[in-house]
Chain A
Amino acid sequence: MKRLSTFPKGGVHPPGRKHLAHSLPLQNASIPSLSIVPLSQHIGSPAECVVSVGDVVREGMLIGKPTGFVSVGIHSPVPGTVKELRRIHLPNGVQTDAVCIELAGEFDRLGKSQETVEWENMSAKELLDLFAQMGIVGMGGATFPTHVKFSPPKGSRVEFFVINGVECEPYLCADHRLMLEKIREIFEGLRVIRKILDPEQVLFAIEANKPDAIEAVMSYCRQNVLDVKVMPLHVKYPQGDEKQVLKALTGREVPSGGLPIDIGAVVSNVGTVNAIYEAVCLKKPLIERALTVSGGAVKNPANLKARIGTPVSQLLEECGGFSEMPEKIVMGGPMMGFTVLDLDTPVTKGTSGILALTGAEIRSANQTACISCGSCISVCPLGLNPRLLYKLVDHLDYGGAVEAGLMDCKECGCCGFVCPAHIPLVQGMRLGKRIHLKNRKKA
């Protein structure tokens, strides 16, 4: 048997726990009576609110217009009236204004058959503008505006376009379900992307723990005679990170501080490709996303298509509530996700899952002193020295930490996962990065 490719350095094997939800089809989550729509759901400058309290909004109407190039539009997920503008905290530490919309009126789109729009005559530029207008961002979790990612610098050639269906985070199955249920849509979206980027080769990366998805994608490609290379990858976390995917697929390494385009590649999540299809072919802005509600404390785990702005509490209720008291509620995957402290926190464009974890699952313990065992160094997929970085940040030497590669850290959480002393290494990295960026802004 041929060995599956993977990235060579580091990585961990956390328990997958995908069986809780991987066989459950995507269902529509119920519509929230009060949607809380943050204006900063993407990397870049926040959208500018264009509605005021009391305004009547329709489903999919623009409520936040993009400011600048690295910014995208925000749309109303539901029809209704704007009740208030609220300042909220998102779990990832962002503080942003949010538009609260009370459900009222009629849906323009929900439950109606959708007409597909002719898009072949649009130029690449028009398509990219459409992405920004429709609020398309990377749905893997980083929420980088897609039109920026798809605007490679002049002179660079896109050799590879990678559709990322790896989904290496434990518990999460939303991408898995999309690949099984929305395969036609994903490949329609790929046609749009081909028109914009004109890649020499298209690769479809899927982790080997999803054999049904691999089979589905492969047979679809065979039937439709598509020039797409399906690549099953070895199961290892963080295989789904774009740098790790590219290393596994092409053997090339994204340079420090660089982007995949520097090695001639662009990577997009399957969720993003699906969103591109909906935006271009159905003229539907990004107002809902697939996510997994799972974890040992959730009664009935599910894969849901939830509207942006749905409070976490409602989705948990929809899944039958808790079977036992959860120790921690996490937004995103258990490795990279953020703790949710307020159940009114809304689903954003980057929310790939909501997990209610039991005490046994999170393995909480008291922090002890570093014993210099080097475990964190051996698992870091980027070859960094997390122990040193943490130490430097702890001693307020942010400049030194940046020199030691702090900004290359992508907070995958491998180091914290293996640390026998339970040192909050990733939190240290996040803190160091945040302060470094703040200092740089000041200077």
Chain B
Amino acid sequence: MLFMKILWAFLSVGLLGAIFGIGLYVASRFFAVKKDERIQQVVEALPGLNCGACGFAGCESYAEAIVTAEDVALDLCKPGGADTAMKLGSIMGKEVEFSAEKLVAQVHCRGGKETAEYKFDYEGIEDCNAAMLLYGGAKKCPFGCLGLGSCIKVCPVDAIDYDEDGLVWVDRDLCISCGKCVDICPTGVMKMIPYGADVIVACNSTDKGGVVRKYCKVGCIGCAKCTRSSPDGGFVIENFLAHIDYSKKGERSAALADCPTKCIIRTVKEVKIEESAHPLEAVAAQDSHDAD
């Protein structure tokens, strides 16, 4: 009796399984939606970060748009850069020209608690846009980094963080050039620079030199010394603020050394060797640095 019961159970479940299986097969056969295979290929070629820098909701919808709509450009993926654009081109059978150098974001301000003047102590939401609603932020300088880290929150790959001086800094090797931080920054101090840029003018203030002097020790005063020290470096003074034309590949280290307010800084920080560390370790660190 028991054996029969078990057998019936097996048989009935097996029969049900068979019926559903046939049903599924029929459904997959007759209700199948034809999907372009290339969509899957494109999705695989994209980095899969879903950062939204292309203007679409994510990698999947960009891929769909590329395949279904004819006029969608193939070079919109900023994190992927030239490589991805080429891959997309080969999948879609189109010629893609991608000459632009990879851009990365960087904060053009080094005014912190010690160097910049503040109007008041800000208490409230830790968000630059929120602080901006209050008399344009706590800093006297209306152009500088407010330091509340809206960009840190919005970065999809955690490329932005406070550095050892407590100032916001972008790690250019992690940055995928999606530009989200540039969009959210209320003062416009976050700007895109070429990946290979050696120095930046870390100031965003277009006030006159005398005014800048009053509220920041490390602001650009527009003295134009950099244009004289490194005439081929592409330094241009505009609205009392030095800009760098990165298409000029000349030497910029003289300007770096001569800048009176030290607002021209390197994009890659020098490796600091802890003096208090054990002498042997310091030597080892020096060696490994040299080996690089």
The chain A residues found within 8 Å of chain B, CB to CB, are 89, 91, 93, 95, 339, 341-342, 364, 394, 396, 424, 427-428, 430-431, 434-435
- B125 engages A428 (CB within 8 Å): yes
Cα separation A300 to B136 with both chains bound (whole Å): 32
- B125 engages A435 (CB within 8 Å): no
Which residue in chain A gives the minimum CB-CB distance to B126? A394
Say what secondary structure dominates the interface of chain B. loop
Q: A342-B119, A434-B133, A435-B129 are known; give 7 further A-B pairs, CB within 8 A.
A: A89-B135, A91-B135, A342-B135, A394-B125, A424-B124, A427-B125, A430-B130
Q: Shortest Cβ distance from B239 into chain A, in angstroms?
A: 15
Q: Shortest Cβ distance from B144 into chain A, in angstroms?
A: 16
- A396 engages B136 (CB within 8 Å): no
Q: Shortest Cβ distance from B178 into chain A, in angstroms?
A: 14
- A430 engages B133 (CB within 8 Å): yes
Residues in chain A near residue B125, CB distance under 8 A: 394, 424, 427-428, 431
11 contacts between A and B (CB under 8 A): A91-B135, A93-B132, A93-B133, A95-B136, A339-B134, A341-B134, A394-B125, A396-B153, A396-B154, A427-B125, A427-B130
Ordered nearest first, which 10 A-B pairs have the shortest CB separation? Answer: A93-B133, A431-B130, A89-B135, A341-B135, A424-B124, A427-B125, A427-B124, A341-B120, A89-B136, A424-B125
Q: Shortest Cβ distance from A121 into chain B, in angstroms?
A: 46
Cα separation A394 to B84 with both chains bound (whole Å): 33
The chain B residues found within 8 Å of chain A, CB to CB, are 119-120, 123-125, 127, 129-130, 132-136, 153-154
Q: Shortest Cβ distance from A33 into chain B, in angstroms?
A: 24
Which residue in chain A gives the minimum CB-CB distance to B133? A93
- A431 engages B120 (CB within 8 Å): no
Which residue in chain B gives the minimum CB-CB distance to A442? B183
Cα separation A408 to B105 with both chains bound (whole Å): 36
Cα separation A364 to B123 with both chains bound (whole Å): 10
Which residue in chain A gives the minimum CB-CB distance to B119? A341
Cα separation A394 to B153 with both chains bound (whole Å): 9
Cα separation A341 to B127 with both chains bound (whole Å): 19
Cα separation A95 to B136 with both chains bound (whole Å): 8
For B120, B127, B135, B136, which residue has the most chain A Cβ atoms within 10 angstroms? B135
Q: Shortest Cβ distance from A246 into chain B, in angstroms?
A: 29
Residues in chain A near residue B130, CB distance under 8 A: 427-428, 430-431
Residues in chain B near residue A93, CB distance under 8 A: 132-134
Cα separation A162 to B136 with both chains bound (whole Å): 37
Residues in chain B near residue A434, CB distance under 8 A: 129, 133
Residues in chain A near residue B135, CB distance under 8 A: 89, 91, 341-342
For B123, B125, B132, B136, which residue has the most chain A Cβ atoms within 10 angstroms? B125
Residues in chain A near residue B129, CB distance under 8 A: 431, 434-435
Cα separation A438 to B203 with both chains bound (whole Å): 25
Residues in chain B near residue A91, CB distance under 8 A: 135
Q: Shortest Cβ distance from B54 into chain A, in angstroms?
A: 15
Q: Shortest Cβ distance from B141 into chain A, in angstroms?
A: 14
Cα separation A339 to B135 with both chains bound (whole Å): 10
